Amino acid sequence: MKNILVTGGAGFIGANFAIYMVQKYPAYNIIVYDKLTYAGNMDNLLEISDEPNYHFEKGDICDSPRVNKVIEQYKIDTIVNFAAETHVDRSILDPEAFVKTGVYGTYVLLEAAKQYGLERYHQISTDEVYGDIPEGQSSVEDDPLRPRSPYAASKASADLMVQAYHVTYGLPTTISRCSNNIGPYQYLEKVIPLFTTNALEDKPLPVYGDGRQQREYQHVLDHCRAIDLVLHKGAIGEIYNMGTGIEVENMRMIEILLDTLGKPRSLIRHVTDRPGHDRRYSLNFDKIRALGWEPEISPEEAIASTVRWYADNEWWWRKIKEGEFQSYYEVQYGARLGSEK
Ligand code: NAD
Ligand code: TYD
C-alpha cells in the first residue's frame, strides 16, 4: 500500500481520514478524489494542503474515464471509498442522487479496482444497513441487511455489490460499518453540528419525535484508527463493525451539548418525527476488537469536544449556514418550526 485514493475525501469523515493518513504515513501518497457536492468542502483539507504526500483531484465517482485517469496518473494501489450522499432526511426528500452515487458510483470504482488489479478496495459503510435494532440486541457482521431509509438502502446495495465483486472476481475487498461519527468538519445538516450552531445562535433545537432514539455517537478519530487497522491487518473479503458499545439517547446527547455551551433546556423543541425513523442501532464489534482496536474516546467526551470545536470554529461553519444550507433548512424545518425558525 503506497498510493491511496480517498474518494469523498473532502467530506467530513473522508477529510479527517485524509489528514490522519497524511500525517501518520509520510511515505504514502494520499489522493483525495471528490465531486465537491454541497457536502464537499476544501476548508476541511486546509490542514494538509501544503503537505507533499497530499493531492487533490476534483471528480465524480460515477465518471469512469476520469476515475481511470486518476488511477493511472497516481499509480493508485488502494481505494478507500467514502463518497456518498449521506443524510437520511435528504434521502427522504430526494433519493435519486443516493442511488446514483451510492450504487452506480460504487460499481464504477469496483470495476476500476478490478481492471487495474488494485491491492485493496475498502468500502465505508454504516450501522444503518442493519435497520432498527430492538433493545437487548446488537448487530453482527453477517446479520441480514434490513435498511429502512433510501440512504440506508443505497449503502446496503453498495455493500452487496462489493461482496459480489469479491466472490465473483476475487477482488481484494474489505468493508467497515461504523456508527454515528462526530467531530470537526461535519456538515451542518447532521444533528450535533446543527444543534450546536443553533444553540450558539439561541435558535430552537428541532428534536424529532420524543428524542428517545439511541445512537452510538463515535469520535471520528476512533473511526479513522479503525479503518487504518483494517487496511493493514484486516482479512480480505471480511466486514468489520466499528461501534462504541454505548448507546446514547438523543435527549441525553442534547443535555451534554447544552451544558457544554451553558445554554438553557428551553431551546429544545419536539417537532414532527422523521418518517420511518430508526429508534436504535447497536453494533457488536468483537471482530475488530480481535484485531486489537478499542474506542479510545468515550461518547460523552466525543460529544463535548465536538461541541467545543464548533464553538471555537465559527470561521468554518458560518459561511455554510449562510449558503445552500438556508434553503434546505427551510424545506426540512420550515413547517416543523413554524415562525420560530
Ligand atoms: P459527507 O456527506 O460529509 O461527505 C461526502 C463526500 O462525498 C463529500 O465531500 C461529497 O462531495 C463527496 N461526494 C458525494 N458524491 C460524490 C460523487 N458522486 N463523486 C465523488 N465524490 C462525491 O459524508 P460523511 O459523513 O463524511 O460520510 C462519509 C462516508 O461514511 C459515507 O459513505 C457515509 O455513508 C459513511 N458513514 C457516515 C457516518 C456518519 O456518521 N457521518 C456513519 C456511518 C457511515
Ligand atoms: P443524524 O445526525 O441525521 O444521523 P442519523 O439519522 O444518520 O443517525 O441524526 C442523529 C439522530 O438525531 C437521529 O435519531 C435523528 C435525530 N435528529 C433530530 O432529532 N433532529 C434533527 O434535526 C436531526 C438532523 C436529527
Please identify which residue in the block is written with the cell numbers 439561541.
202
**What is the Cα–Cα distance from 175 to 230, expressed in whole angstroms?**
9
**What is the Cα–Cα distance from 199 to 236, expressed in whole angstroms?**
45
Distance 32 CA to ligand 1 centre (A): 13
**What is the Cα–Cα distance from 217 to 247, expressed in whole angstroms?**
7
CA distances to 65, 97, 124, 245 from 14, in Å: 22, 19, 10, 23
For 73, the grid coordinates are 496518473
Cβ of 200: how many Cβ atoms within 10 Å?
15
Phi (first) and psi of residue 123, to 5 degrees:
-105, 130
Phi (first) and psi of residue 314, to 5 degrees:
-60, -30
Annotation marks residue 128 as catalytic: yes
Given the residues 85, 127, 159, 216, the one annotated as active site: 127
Whether the pTM exceeds 0.95: the reply is: yes
Q: What is the pLDDT along the chain (341 residues), one digit of tens a residue?
A: 899 999 999 999 999 999 999 999 999 999 999 999 999 999 999 999 999 999 999 999 999 999 999 999 999 999 999 999 999 999 999 999 999 999 999 999 999 999 999 999 999 999 999 999 999 999 999 999 999 999 999 999 999 999 999 999 999 999 999 999 999 999 999 999 999 999 999 999 999 999 999 999 999 999 999 999 999 999 999 999 999 999 999 999 999 999 999 999 999 999 999 999 999 999 999 999 999 999 999 999 999 999 999 999 999 999 999 988 999 999 999 999 998 87
Question: Which ligand 1 atom sits nearest the alpha carbon of residue 125?
Answer: 44
Distance 170 CA to ligand 1 centre (A): 26
Domains in the chain: ranges and CATH: 3-182+219-242 (3.40.50.720)
**What is the Cα–Cα distance from 152 to 304, expressed in whole angstroms?**
27
Residue 57: strand, helix, or coil: strand
Question: Which ligand 1 atom sits nearest the alpha carbon of residue 155?
Answer: 34
Question: Which ligand 1 atom sits nearest the alpha carbon of residue 61?
Answer: 19
Phi (first) and psi of residue 246, to 5 degrees:
-130, 110
